[in-house]
Amino acid sequence: MAMDAATDSLKGYLALVRSFVVKDIRTRYVGSLMGFFWTVVHPLLELLIYTFVFTVILRVSFEDHYSTGTNALFLFAGMVPWFSVSESLTRSTVTIRENAHLIKRVRFPSSVLPTYINLSEGFNQLIRFALLFGAAIIVGQGLSWHLLILIPVLLLQLLFTQGLSLFLAATQVFFKDTQHLLAPLLMIWLFITPIFYPARYFPQEFSPVLMLNPLSHLVGIYRELILNHRLPHWGSVVIFATCAGLAYTLGSLLFKRHSQRFPDLV
């Protein structure tokens, strides 16, 4: 009986998450005439701007044999996961307070809110990946079987962002300034991640910062699989997988420990 009750509870939770994800996607793509347009065009506009600045004005070539097109692919391969992670964290941080009317319901599982946001942003990342794949076929060296490994890597990324999202969402309930601190922290995180430059350009004296930055490994893994058609360095995989596991464990424990107090604080 207890197992049946747990199974029913899990099914109910997953159904609730699914309904929120579908609603969020429909609101973004169906509820707005420009929703899908901006999901595609916004990253492309940023890509064009950065490509123009780095390859036309500054005349930077990330590899000696790279053309303007492959330089653009290099940038986009780093920007795609960054968009997903930063949007997930930004939206998840305020989701508990923004949905106070749901949190105050006795039987509503509050962890649904960060979860559906991460899954929805994961869906948007798949759309951007589709653009990247198309561009790689047109101006790059095509695609290879290594794309199959993107699936477990994306799952690790979702585990990582879920843990951080749970942590930030819970922290925001107790400290309202969390959302204001997040913006400059994300900006710092953006520029210490090798998105707009190869990892080898990072100053040697600050190499521990690069090594301890989970996103530097995630970006490197995606570039190896999509652009270079080879398996990523095992060390990067181990480090990011460890960070994902730790982030999820700590975020889940903190959220679960304090979630019962949410209805009284939001």
What integer pLDDT is reported at residue 122 of this predicted model? Answer: 94
What average pLDDT does range 87-110 have in this prediction? 90
Distance, in Å, from the CA atom of 154 to the CA atom of 125, rounded to the nearest integer, reads 9
CA atoms within 13 A on the CB side of 83: 23
CB 162 within 8 A of CB 86: no
Range of the domain at 88: 2-265
CB 89 within 8 A of CB 67: no
Task: Provide the pLDDT confidence category of residue 5 given band limits of 50, 70 and 90.
Answer: low
CA 34 and chain centroid, separation: 22
pLDDT tens digits for range 35-78: 666 667 777 787 788 778 877 787 777 776 777 778 888 988 99
What integer pLDDT is reported at residue 8 of this predicted model? Answer: 59
Round the average pLDDT of the chain to a whole number and report it: 88
What integer pLDDT is reported at residue 86 of this predicted model? Answer: 96
Is 31's pLDDT higher than 60? no
CB 66 within 8 A of CB 107: no
Is 2's pLDDT higher than 60? no
Q: How many domains does the chain have?
A: 1
Task: Provide the pLDDT confidence category of residue 180 given band limits of 50, 70 and 90.
Answer: very high
- Phi, psi values for residue 111, rounded to 5°: -70, -15
CB 17 within 8 A of CB 119: yes
- pTM recorded for the entire structure: 0.90
Is 85's pLDDT higher than 80? yes
What average pLDDT does range 210-232 have in this prediction? 94
What integer pLDDT is reported at residue 1 of this predicted model? Answer: 53
Q: Token digits for 140?
A: 């790059």
What integer pLDDT is reported at residue 45 of this predicted model? Answer: 81
Q: Token digits for 75?
A: 């940038």
| Helix pair 214-226, 150-174: axis angle to 10 deg | 150
**Distance between the two ends of the chain, CA-based, in angstroms?**
35
Please calculate the CA angle 7-13-14 and round it to the nearest 5 degrees.
90
Task: Provide the pLDDT confidence category of residue 167 given band limits of 50, 70 and 90.
Answer: very high
Which residues, including other chains, have CB under 8 Å from residue 213's CB and lie 6 or more apart?
A: 189, 192, 193
Which segments within the chain are labelled E, that is strand? none
Place of tokens 């996103």: 215
pLDDT tens digits for range 243-264: 999 999 999 999 999 988 898 8
Is 15's pLDDT higher than 60? yes
